[in-house]
Amino acid sequence: MYITLSLISSLVELFFIVTNFQFFLLSNSKYYYFLFFMNIYIGNLNYRVREEDLRHVLEEYGTVDSVKVIKDRDTGRSKGYAFAEMADDEEARNVIEGLNGTEFQGRQLVLKEALPKKQ
């Protein structure tokens, strides 16, 4: 099999690009997180909603990687919103379209793609 020097050079260059990108992702985990998962904001939650309840509803639309109900650090009570992570963007968009504005435990849900915190 005949391989040209140009092809070998291109493959080596591609290897270094991929390796450097992986190193960048590992050393900057916040970027890794936003490149591979869609983070969904879920607002206007009933204060009694548990993470398990929310996960069960979201899983009707696809695989849910995590659900986190945000709680007050002093009282431990829910603040009325949560975040969920889904690896599949299409499933995440379906969740947002399907559940935004629907009623859940007596409250009308607000769902949208969560954006990274501004530094």
Given pLDDT bands bounded at 50, 70 and 90, which one contains residue 115?
confident
pTM, whole model, 2 decimals? 0.69
pLDDT > 60? residue 26: no
DSSP secondary structure string for all residues of 43-112: ES--TT--HHHHHHHHTTSS---EEEEEE-TTT--EEEEEEEEES-HHHHHHHHHHHTT-EETTEE-EEE
Give the start-to-end residue ranges of the domains of the chain.
1-35, 37-113
Q: What is the pLDDT of residues 39-82, one digit of tens each?
A: 999 999 999 999 999 999 999 999 999 999 999 999 999 999 99
| CATH number of this structure's domain 37-113, picked from the four choices 3.40.50.300, 3.40.1190.20, 3.30.70.330, 3.10.129.10 | 3.30.70.330
